Amino acid sequence: MKSEISRDEVRSAIEDKLCAYFGVTIEKATDDQVFQASAMVIREIMSRLLAIEESRRGDREVHYMSMEFLMGRSLIKNAFNLGISEALTGALEDMGRSAADIFEAENDAGLGNGGLGRLAACYMDSMASLGIPATGYSICYELGIFRQKIQDGKQTEVADDWRKSAESWLIPRNEDAVEIRFGGQISPRWDYFGRYHAEHTGYTTVTAVPRDMLIAGFGGKTVNTLRLWDARSTSALDMYLFSEGEYVKSMEQRTMSEVITKVLYPADDHIEGKILRLKQQYFFVSATVQTIVKKHMERYGDIRSFAKHHVIQINDTHPTLVIPELMRIFMDEYDMDWDEAWEIVTAAVAYTNHTVMSEALEKWPQELVQKLLPRVWEILCEINRRWCDYLVSKFGNSEKVGRNLIIRNGQVHMANLCLAACFKVNGVSGLHGEILKNDLFRDINELRPERFTYVTNGIDHRRWLSQINPRLHGLAAELLGSEDFLTRPEELIRLADFAQEPRVQKRVLEIKQLNKADFAEFALRNDGFVLNTDAIMDVQVKRLHEYKRQLLCAMLITRLQMQIHDKPNAEFKPRTFVFGAKAAAGYRTAKRIIELICSLAKDVNGDPLCKDKLQVYFMENYRVSAAEALMPAAQVSQQISTAGKEASGTGNMKLMLNGAVTIGTLDGANVEMYERLGDRNMFLFGLRTEEVIALKERGYNPLSIAEKDPELMEVLNRFSSGFSDGKSYSDLVSDLLYKGDPYMLIADYRDYVSTHDRLYSAISNENELARLSLMNTAESGIFAADRAIKEYAESIWNIKL
């Protein structure tokens, strides 16, 4: 798709912005100034489109609430969607600038921690591309996900000031600022009709100021908004204290207000961190709800029609306080009675669950909510009382009542609040949906089965194929005869018709080799790593968590190194293992696993026997732009989480789309990938979900299994004795052998390494490698975010497309 805007017009507009805003000509402008000017031009185009659309907006809107939006870079993405990417690139080149250097000047918008935030970003793109009126809501974190540094083989966290390059995208909307209240007391007041009114006094206030980021849909027909809330103090300075020389103290109120939006996910292993996180969630929720209700009244004038015109989708439990906050506004500000308000709220809010682990479900200390949010606490108590009565009426005096209460054991259980209030609860893959219904939320599914469903996650296929892998996009368009797959990703399935053709297989291999060369430049530039482009690129890139089992992959690599030493002259398909992962700052075991992988990498890469055979590359500071460099080059995709632990996954889909062959467990969306690919095109291993449960119930003894496998014990002994840097990882080994191995690495090891051998035996034939690659791309269309959003629109949001 191309726009009518020419490269000369784009060049003229950029030069105008450089003069008007920076006072420089193109000859003297820095790359950062050229980037900022380019972003301003793109933003102006989107602003004009948004202004035109506002007058013809549909009468039912989606409000997508998420604590994370991992947007990555926006310049080339918005230009691509508007159809001016070629004009922009040409204009930059005409001005004597490297377009690649200008695009690199933009920092990733790191408003997220991983898949949750990236999913939200993909969905915003698809909602705009499908013409769905939608607004995303989150926090305008000053510092997003940390910048990862590897020092002495260990992860360290460095603040990432992403907003410096984002200023050109963020539009301040001071006219929409709202007040958020914390603390204080609630005094009851009864009117002449015997109705209760809550008088809130003694509270402190923080101002929420929106900063809007515009999202252009593909084709440039629809522009939606991502509204990010910034915290501001109601008082810039205590002038009395300042005049008395108490300079620091005079800024205290301002500092305490603005810290709310300082960082994404502050550590909460202490009470101050918990208070800050709860403040973040309520700040974000209250500001959003106040705005939605205000705009509804401006447009419709009737609060009772709210659910007809709005659906609020909460992405995980972080925005769950939207439920009591809506109740507060409807009752306290619009004088509704409880039943009427509850009917509207329960018809307007839907919940997407993202975990299968009950211990990961969010909960808050009761006394914290009570002190920080006194009116919300009153409403929660009443919701809990009525919910308890309902459960008792259905279950009697059963344990099912206790475990589904919203308030129990001194804690507020956010998922249970969602179960009580949300008209739909969806999982994010077929397997995940079944686990929710049959395990995690089985009691409520027994009462309300019609409320439970699933929508398998999807990815922005235009970004993750066409934008980042233009060579493969070009081949697909050539073979299919058009670029229709940009809007109809299901068309990719027709690529399967060409998978056996030798000329096409040759092209696939050539494209992959060129992409590996590009990635090698990235690795050298970013980390000083010299990548062997003749080796198979075997990748595991995802958030570092024990259940994702990066440690299992490290066990495999250690085994391969030992095999090379045992038989140095044996035939060995060269391979480079690439890891990209950040561990949460307070997650000790995850950080130890990163340290082990770095020790292993140093040992393998310095081993003369492994030269040109085996490499290990840990990508520092894995992020969206790094993923965009990696995905087109990847050839093997490691999706090896413990069965029953991964809700869905989206990295697996991006790698599949770019032609990587998956080795994985039957977990998350791998299940649906396997349904399409089968044994011929995907390499499955490991215990199934029901087998994991059965083995644990029988009594899982990892030490007993390990002792029967001499090779496995040798690998673990290697971890304990340490690598070339002398570091021992006996603590990780002890967790596996003597502390139950909760994620079943020992149980799955033998099947994993055998399947890996089988995979490499298959791809040692280059024609088979090419066939597998194209088949994976062909079958990936079903995992497009466009498909997922259509399912949300039809089955949850009641929006006709």
Which sequence positions are flagged as catalytic?
A: 354, 542-543, 548, 650, 654
Residues near 769 by beta carbon (within 8 Å), at least 6 away in sequence: 509, 635, 661, 762, 763
Residues near 256 by beta carbon (within 8 Å), at least 6 away in sequence: 233
268 backbone dihedrals φ, ψ, rounded to 5°: -120, 30
| CA neighbor of 219 nearest in space, from 131, 134, 133, 132 | 131
Sheet holding 575-580, edge to edge: 614-619, 575-580, 536-541, 636-639, 661-664, 683-684
| CA neighbor of 408 nearest in space, from 429, 391, 394 | 391
CA distance 148 to 431: 33
Judging by beta carbons within 10 Å of its beta carbon (0-12, 13-18, 19+), is residue 93 exposed, middle or buried? middle
Query: What is the b/e burial string over 425-434, where b = at least 16 CB atoms within 10 angstroms of the residue's CB?
Result: bbbbbbbbbe
Contact in structure between 204 and 182 (CB atoms under 8 Å)? yes
Contact in structure between 649 and 457 (CB atoms under 8 Å)? yes
Contact in structure between 394 and 447 (CB atoms under 8 Å)? yes
Contacts by residues 724-732 (CB-CB < 8 Å, ≥ 24 positions apart): 724/599, 724/602, 724/603, 724/606, 725/153, 725/599, 725/602, 725/603, 727/153, 727/595, 727/596, 727/599, 729/592, 729/595, 729/596, 729/599, 731/592, 732/551, 732/589, 732/592, 732/593, 732/596
CA distance 119 to 460: 9
Tokens of 564: 């090379």
Q: How many residues does the chain have?
A: 801
DSSP-based helix, strand, coil % in the chain, nearest 5: 55, 15, 30
| CA neighbor of 282 nearest in space, from 421, 180, 153 | 180
User: What are the E-state strand segments in 265-421?
Assistant: 310-315, 349-352, 363-365, 407-408, 411-413
Contact in structure between 332 and 375 (CB atoms under 8 Å)? yes
User: What are the E-state strand segments in 683-792?
Assistant: 683-684
